[in-house]
Structures are given as structure tokens and as C-alpha cells.
A and B are shown apart, each in its own frame.
Chain A
């Protein structure tokens, strides 16, 4: 099976990548400022709705209904889109999806396409595939543009350039955008103006646009895209041909179900009552917008994930990124350290599930990139119990590694000791000798693997007399 491009080839394991990222003071500052700001905003936006918890429960239930009847809803969606003049394609993996998009682009006679930001297209490496085939790709989302011009990688699901502050963005634009004013300041308004000028020509002349989709309604065939800047509307309205790549799991059963998600998503993602623009279209409307509409339904590991009774919860994700914004790990390491299109808490579970590569050391490290604090679960609008899925995936990593690794041997030994109070107490007595490694009950240096603790923390020495030894002595 071909490698799933959701992860970036050659990525180091998370601990190694994180160690490097942690040392970047500018990154640390940018991330802390951005995540702390959005956390408070989100909390306020959510507090405004007295029925927030009820909306979450409804969102979870609707998404479960979708997953448990996914084939039925996808067939309905296909019929509804087709009835309104759209064409539906099915793609088993990244390569197949890219081939479909490339063929459609060539059939439309385009040498260049404009793109709305789409996690699904990032996941399949669409830009690279198109460019390798000689088709130019213009990212029109401001953050994706920053990433593209900065020859960088996206580090956040919603705000891909979160790792950049305004000064760095100014520097990238000044260097890479032809026609950027020489006296360009780092005021966000000035930076936005540069993006506007640069992209306007592209919007007004593009013939093919590629987008993703936030939702697609099965009973009506309506496709939904939420955005802020207007680049989405530009791509979805002006070109003759529109190609939308959408993960299978994004389908919703009925029009009415949208009322839940149009409340959950804006408040969870950009922490607004509503994002500036939401576009909804069904097939083709004569005289209004693209006259050729193609919907590419993408599997790329989703059906395999669906087979996992615990892991399938990850498919409820609506890509809001609230979990990234509250995660104490993501806040410090940033997204690049995950080596995946999907970073943060959702990335730590979705990436291994989609990638299906248990022997890959990098992928295997992702479920451990968490202290299991649970802040993510608290904010997830569709109530994905991310800590539980992480622990479940850790069990799969351990099973794949087998029982001869040093860690497995150590864990087995410890379980054996814990397995009987007699063995346990004998170990406690023997361990008490470790007090000689330290001073006053504190050990400041331990041999490997204990050294990983004592690199930054003192360790307690085992007590002279354990609690149970005291109990036995004083209470018989």
C-alpha cells in the first residue's frame, strides 16, 4: 500500500522534533500569545449560548449517526448532487484523488488553478501532485499564502501560519510578493492589503478552482464552506469549473442538522458568533457561479478508521482546532513537531488512524505526545474523548512493537512485582537501598532511563519504611 502523504516523509519522532521546537523562543512567544488569546475568546463565545452542552451532545449524536450509516448517506448525497447537475467522483486514496483532480483540470483546459484552503487537499499532497504535472497552484487563503511564500509548512489546522508573527509575515511578503510596497509595515491591515492586491488578478481570471468542504447535506446535495476572507467566495463563484475534495465523513444527514454545526463550528474555531462568509451551493445553478461542479469523495484511510470501534470517534471531527488551542503540549511545541498535516490533539489520533503504519517510528510516537490532561475533550464540539483514543492507540503501538523491547520487558517485570503483595514488599525493601543514591531522601541523578527524569527534576528516594511496612509493624 502506498504511503499516506498525511505525514511528511522523514519526520523525526515527536520527542526529538519537540525538543528542537521548544528551543525556538520566537515560536514559543508566538504560540503562547496566539493560543492564550483565542482560548479566552472561545470561552466567551461559548458562554453566550445557554444550550452549548446540548448542542455538543446533538453534534456528537448526529456525527455518530452519519458514521454508522455512512454508505447510505453517501449514496443519497451522490444522487442529490447529480440530480442538480454536479458530478460525483470516488477516490480510494491520495493518488487516486490527485489523478482525478488533475484529469478534470486538464479537461477544463487550465494551466493554473486557484485554491481555497482545504485540509483534505493538504492531506493528499494535491499541490505537489499538480505542480509536478505542470499545473500552477495559487493558494488564496492568507495563511496558506504566507506558508507557500515562506517555503514553509502549515502548523495549525485553522490558522496554518500561527507560528509566524506579524513581523515575520511582513518580512516574507516584502521579500516574495512582487509589487509589495517597499515601506510595507507589519500592521495586519497593511499585510492584508498586500494579499488582496496580489490575489485579485488571479481571482478575476481563474477558470478552475479547487476547494474542500466543511459539510455536505445528503438529502439536498448542498455543499457548505465556511471562511473569513472572501477568497472562498471568489473561488466558489467566479471560475467556470469548481472541484471540491471532501473527506467521506463530512456528510450530514439532513438540512436541519446544519443548524447544530453552524453554531458549534464558528464559536469553537475563530471564537466568533459567526464567521464572515458561509457559502452553500447545490450542484449547478444556471447563471450563477460555476457551470461545472465536481465533488470528489475521499477515503484515504477513513474507512479503515471507521472499522476501529474506539478510533472511529476521530471521524466526528469538524476541524475546528479548539483542541489545538487549549493543548499544553501544542502550545509549546507548535504544529511542525507532529510531522503531519494534522497536528495537535486531533492530529495525534487522526494521523496514526489514517496512516495505518504501525511500524513507522514517527507515527508510533504521536499517541504519546500527550500528558492526557483532557483539556481537549472539554472543548471538543463533537465530544471526541481524545485521551481515551490516545490510550487505545498506545496499546496498538505496544502490540506492534512486541514484548521484547526493553520497555516491554520492564513493564512486564513491574506487573509481575505488583502481582503479589509478597513480591511487592520484597521489592520495596530492596528498593529502599536506593536511598543511598541520594541525599536526604532526594536523588539528583539516576542512570538511564531514570536520567530522563533527573535531567530536570530531583527524584524522591524510596522511603526508609514503606507505608505497608509501617502498617504491618504498628498494626499487625
Chain B
């Protein structure tokens, strides 16, 4: 197998014997764009994907979590171990992912509640990095309902700004709406394997 590596690298070098020159990469594309109200743009763009979005104040957040879960008649909800205690409001079966739940158990919970790492206003994207209040990736994948708390100060405008704020070697998941497919006549249709219901609580 070391032969393959040596051979391929050799082939590459021989293929480039004409020493093509790569001109410098032009970086005059927009890294940032002026936006009046990042939170409003983010809310609008997430809603475009047919995710449910509500804006709440920090004080009203626990009540909003309760209202969201009640509206869905949620029973059990899985959460990462470091979720703020105030978020785990009374009246629901909180499954704490420590020790980690088996995949069958994850399949049986009603939903998952997490925070996020960064959000992108322009594309309506939430980024999880398995960091604080987020847990491991399987948590936000298997349950059918994902309730995500996004703080306004976590929102950046553009994709370049988001990447600059993220640690590349953490396990990253970019979420732009609920799961969907464009495979049937090229129309985007919601609901295949990932959570079919995404709800965002935007804390301003």
C-alpha cells in the first residue's frame, strides 16, 4: 500500500512537469455584509426553511421552552449533561445524556433540546460544535424534534464570519432547516431522516 502512495505522488509530480503557475487567489469577495438587524434576518431566513422561530428574552426563555414542548405534547426530551438547569422546566421527562443513551433509547424520545455554537443570519443556519449545551452529534440527529436555543450574540452575518468563529477540528454540524430532499422532481420537500421538526428559540 505504501507503493500506491509513492506511485500516486510520483504521478502527480510528473503530471505537473510543465510547472503551471497558480496566480494568487483573489480575496475580494465579501467576508462581511452590512445588515441592520442580524437577529431579524436570521429569524426570517430560518423561517424560510419552514422551521418554527420565536423571539424571546432571556428571562422568558424557560417559559418559552415549556410552551414549545407543551404545544408538541412532548413527553421525554433528551439533553446534554451541561444544559443550564433553568432550561429543564418541570413537567417533562428529561433524559440526560450522561452516561450516553443507546441509539434505541434516542429513537424513543420525543425530542432534543440544545443550545448552539454559532448561527449564520444570511443563510438561516445553526452550527453545532459538540461544545457547551450541545452534546454529541447523535443527540440532534435521531429524535424527530429539535428545539434549539440561539442567543442573538451568537449570530454572525455571513458564512466566512461563521467559519472564522469555529474550531475546525471539533465535530461540526451545520443545520439549515429540518431535513429535506430535492430528489422528487427537484422540489424541496421536508422530512426524511434527520429531525423533521426544527424549532428555534431566539434569545434577544
Stretch of A15-23, A59-67, A343-351, A461-469 that contacts chain B: A59-67
Q: Is B85 an interface residue (CB 8 A)?
A: no
Contacts of B176 in A (CB 8 A): 272-277
Cross-chain contact B193 with A200 (CB below 8 angstroms): yes
Of B11, B25, B137, B138, the most chain A CB neighbours within 10 A belong to: B25
> Counting CB contacts under 8 A, is B93 at the interface?
no
Partner of A276, one of B168, B175, B183: B175
The interface stretch among A89-97, A123-131, A367-375, A442-450 is: A89-97
11 A–B pairs (Cβ distance < 8 Å), ordered by A: A58-B26, A58-B27, A75-B9, A90-B8, A161-B183, A220-B169, A229-B183, A230-B195, A257-B25, A274-B176, A287-B136
Which residue from A34, A283, A303 sits with its C-beta under 8 Å from B11?
A303
Whether the pair B9, A281 counts as a contact (CB closer than 8 A) is: no
Q: Does A221 sit within 8 A of B, measured CB to CB?
A: yes
Q: How far is the CA of A262 from the CA of B1 in the complex (A)?
A: 33
A27 within 8 A of B: no
Roughly how many angstroms separate A27 CA and B7 CA in the complex, as a whole number?
A: 44
Closest residue of B by beta carbon distance from A235: B193
Complex contact A258–B23 (CB within 8 A): no
Q: Beyond the given A276-B179, A288-B137, could you list 12 further A-B residue pairs with CB under 8 A, ordered by the A residue number?
A: A196-B193, A203-B193, A217-B168, A222-B169, A229-B180, A229-B183, A234-B194, A274-B123, A277-B194, A282-B171, A297-B8, A306-B15
A228 at the interface (CB under 8 A from B): yes
A71-B12, A229-B194, A288-B130 given; A165·B189 CB < 8 A: no
Cβ B179 vs Cβ A230 within 8 A: yes
Indicate if the CB atoms of A221 and B169 lie closer than 8 Å: yes
Is B14 an interface residue when CB atoms closer than 8 A count as contact?
yes
Given A199-B193, A238-B103, A71 and B13 contact (CB-CB distance below 8 Å): yes
A120, CB-defined interface residue at 8 Å: no
Please tell me if the beta carbons of B173 and A166 are within 8 angstroms of each other in the complex: no
Q: Are A54 and B26 within 8 A (Cβ)?
A: yes
Residues of B within 8 A of A178 (CB): none
Q: Which residues of A contact B (CB under 8 A)?
A: 30, 33-35, 37-38, 49-51, 54-55, 57-58, 61-62, 64-65, 67-71, 74-75, 84, 89-92, 96, 100, 140-143, 146, 159-162, 165-166, 169, 188-189, 191-193, 195-196, 199-200, 203-204, 217, 220-222, 228-231, 233-234, 237-238, 248, 255-260, 262-263, 266, 270, 272-283, 285, 287-289, 297, 299, 303-304, 306-307, 309, 312
The answer to whether A51 and B168 touch (CB under 8 A), given A68-B20, A228-B182, is no
Residues in B whose Cβ lies below 8 Å from that of A272:
176, 188
B132: interface (CB < 8 Å): no
Interface: B160 (CB within 8 A): yes
For chains A and B in complex, what number of residue pairs have CB atoms within 8 angstroms?
259
- Are B192 and A229 in touch, CB under 8 angstroms? yes
Interface size on B, residues (CB 8 A): 76
* Contact A233–B163 (Cβ < 8 Å): no
Which residues on A sit within 8 Å (CB–CB) of B103?
Answer: 204, 238
Contact with A along B164-201 (1 / 0, CB 8 A): 10001111111111111111111111111111000000
Q: Are B186 and A38 in contact (CB under 8 A)?
A: yes
CB-defined contacts of B182 to chain A, threshold 8 Å? 159, 228, 270
Nearest-Cβ distance from residue A282 to partner chain B, whole angstroms: 4
Q: Are A280 and B4 in contact (CB under 8 A)?
A: no
Q: Decide yes or no whether B115 CB sits under 8 A from chain A.
A: no
The smallest beta-carbon distance between A215 and chain B, in angstroms, is 12
Given known contacts A195-B192, A233-B137, A274 and B174 CB-to-CB distance under 8 angstroms: yes
Q: Is the CB of B173 within 8 A of A92?
A: no
Asked, given contacts A61-B26, A189-B190, A304-B15, whether A237 binds B137 with beta carbons under 8 Å apart, the answer is: yes
A61-B23, A273-B45, A276-B194 known; A92-B8 Cβ under 8 A:
yes
Which of chain B's residues have a CB closer than 8 A to the CB of A188?
181, 184-185, 187, 189
- Establish whether residues B168 and A70, one from each chain, have CB atoms under 8 Å apart when the complex forms: no
| Among candidates B14, B138, B185, residue contacting A165 with C-beta atoms closer than 8 Å | B185
- A51 to chain B: which residues have CB within 8 Å? 28-30
Chain B residue with minimal CB distance to A270?
Answer: B182
Residues on A with C-beta less than 8 A from B159 are 259, 262-263
